């Protein structure tokens, strides 16, 4: 039997590697909307660019959970 532990990207264990046999860990990224831009919270997120966009935006920002397809992937 194998196991897969999946979290969204708000988890603080992004680099965690399970030691149990036949176990994998992955995360599905949250989406952050700032104005008309969408930032994907994955390992390639440019946090400085995100922060600059948030600072410059006059409207409220929002976030979205991963889609069903992203969880399955």
Query: What local confidence, expressed as pLDDT, does residue 71 receive?
Result: 80
**Which one is predicted more confidently, 20 or 72?**
20
Per the structure, the complete domain to which residue 27 belongs is given by 3-72
Among 50, 41, 39, 36, smallest CA distance to 7 is for 41
Query: Would you give the DSSP letter of residue 56?
Result: H
> Is 41:64 a contact under the CB 8 Å cutoff?
no
CATH code of the domain covering residue 64 = 3.40.50.10170
Around 27, how many Cα atoms within 13 Å sit in the side-chain half-sphere?
A: 19
Which tokens go with 36? 């008309």
What digits encode the pLDDT tens for the residues 12-70? 877 788 999 999 998 888 999 999 999 999 889 999 999 999 999 999 999 998 888 88
pLDDT of residue 3: 93
pTM check: above 0.85: no
Q: How many domains does the chain have?
A: 1
DSSP assignment of 6-28 equals EEETT-S-TT----STTEEEEEE
């Amino acid at each position: 039997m194998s196991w897969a532990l999946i979290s969204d990207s708000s988890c603080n264990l992004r680099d965690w590697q399970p030691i149990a046999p036949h176990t994998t860990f992955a995360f599905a990224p949250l989406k952050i909307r700032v104005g008309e831009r969408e930032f994907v919270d994955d390992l390639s997120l440019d946090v400085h660019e995100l922060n600059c966009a948030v600072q410059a935006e006059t409207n409220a920002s929002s976030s979205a959970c991963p889609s069903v397809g992203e969880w399955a992937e």
